[in-house]
Amino acid sequence: MRAVLRWLGLSVLALAMLQIFFIGRIVLMAKVAPQSTAFERSQAWQILRDKGHLPWSQQWVDYGQISDNLKRAVIASEDDGFVNHDGVDWDALEKAWAKNSKAEQRAEQHGTTKPPKIVGGSTITQQLAKNLFLSGERTLFRKAQEFVLTMALELCLSKQRILEIYLNNVEWGEGVFGAEAAAQHYFRKPASRLSAYEAARLAVMLPRPKYFEKLPNSAYVSGRAAVITGRMGDAQLPGQ
């Protein structure tokens, strides 16, 4: 019994130390840009393993050097309540759960064992927490850790800083990370000069960047970009 208690105590201590480490890194991010994210490192390793070399494009640019069009497009597409929620959009999460439940019911009715994947409910802050620190595995512990990191990001950083870090580290294609690299890769211009429609096209790509990189002029991308462009006027930016 004593050995079990000792093991539990050491596990709790290790978990607490891990949280302190994560929070310390987040506090540092208020002033210092992260050199890389856990997701970037995993992608770099995968590309290097598959290709034998590492084609990589990424350049940090400050918040003011990113077009407001791109900020609005990403918020309109990914998280329209970004400036108002506390890191978790509970309404969107509830809707995502409802869609998952309906998908599972349809799968059972049709006799399929794997219901279709439903994407939704994840805020920009949650996506950033996952990309910065976590693996891609889907476990209860990882989701709990994502929630803790999301709350820490919201407490330690401003909404503007969260959006700045997100836009500089999000994936926009194989080895293409951040707004500046994406703007140069797809439109041969800096991120500060993106038009509304160009920004919307980039926003469309975010859920599946490698897939849409191969189909940049597809009818879906064009149609979805037009929808996002129409919604950008309602997107509220941090500080406004």
Radius of gyration of the chain from its Cα atoms, rounded to whole angstroms: 19
Closest CA to 194 of 209, 215, 178: 178
89-115 pLDDT tens trace: 777 666 655 665 555 556 566 665 554
Burial class (CB in 10 A: 0-12, 13-18, 19+), 191: buried
* More reliable by pLDDT, 113 or 152: 152
55-65 pLDDT tens trace: 999 999 999 99
3-12 pLDDT tens trace: 767 777 777 7
Q: What topology does CATH give the domain 21-27+35-79+157-240? A: Penicillin binding protein transpeptidase fold (1.10.3810)
Residue with tokens 């991120």: 191
Contacts for 87 with CB less than 8 Å, ≥ 6 apart = 123, 125, 126, 150, 151, 153, 154
Provide the residue ranges of all domains of the chain, joining segments of one domain with +: 21-27+35-79+157-240
Q: What is the pLDDT of residue 118?
A: 46
